[in-house]
Structure 1
């Protein structure tokens, strides 16, 4: 075979591989589901003061735990369609920092469960993981 024929066959094989990898079928859903909650009034700005210190950190934004608890409960009941969702308890003073994670505890059917919160932006967006 000539070099040109080998190159043509090689290109055809490469094109076939690329086209075979493309599919109109959507990818399988992930094993765990997360829901992104848009920024709302669940964030607040706080300032820390220290007595006698000349250097202070800049005010930072933290999530309002009461608002977050209500939002998490709403996501669990409406999006995850869980029944018998009871009290949700999220820790106070959680910084609005992209990539940070923390856990809220929730009562589902009388059992204590943990929900992971992942902050997805500096604007107050976060994901609510499935209870585990």
Structure 2
């Protein structure tokens, strides 16, 4: 390759690097955030088949469900801290949603007084789930 060709390639790469560095378009927020919900340590909740505010019951048997109050608090925190959503109002997540890998459901959120939907995707049988961006 001639010196002129090498210089042209280097110049083009430098111009591209300058254009990328000067872009004022912010990087998009991630589509999801993984949240780990710890198992409950309450033996009375596990024995009765219910849940406590610590997350899914720790009974280890099928049929565990998420505690909606804990999930609502987690969703609010993810929206405000990770997605940087301001004016997050009421968050409502459905009760009796199973801790089952791959299942999905929605929570409703008031953002600036407007109803939005947040998708929850369960990512394991141990209580982990992803919180999607409000849509």
1:129 aligns with 2:132: yes
Measure the CA separation in 1 of the matches of 2:101 and 2:62: 16
Which has more strand, going by share of residues? 1
Per the alignment, do residues 30 and 120 of structure 1 end up closer, same or farther by CA in structure 2, a change over 3 Å counting?
farther
The TM-score with structure 2 as length reference comes to 0.64
Which has more helix, going by share of residues? 2
Partner of 1:104: 107
Instruction: Please provide the CA RMSD for this pair.
Output: 2.0
Partner of 1:3: none
Larger radius of gyration: 1
* Displacement after TM superposition at 1:39 (Å): 2.4
Contact 2:118 2:133 in 1 (8 A): yes
SS, match of residue 128 in structure 1? strand
Partner of 1:82: 85
Report how many aligned residue pairs link the two structures.
Answer: 93
Per the alignment, do residues 125 and 59 of structure 1 end up closer, same or farther by CA in structure 2, a change over 3 Å counting?
closer
Range with greater deviation from structure 2 (37-46 or 97-106):
37-46
Partner of 1:113: 116
Partner of 2:34: 36
Contact 1:45 1:62 in 2 (8 A): no
Q: Could you list the runs of 5+ residues in structure 1 that have no partner in the other structure?
A: 1-28, 47-57
Deviations 1:86-126 (A, max 9, x none): 01000000000000000000000110000000000001000
Moved over 6 A (4+): none
Partner of 2:96: 93
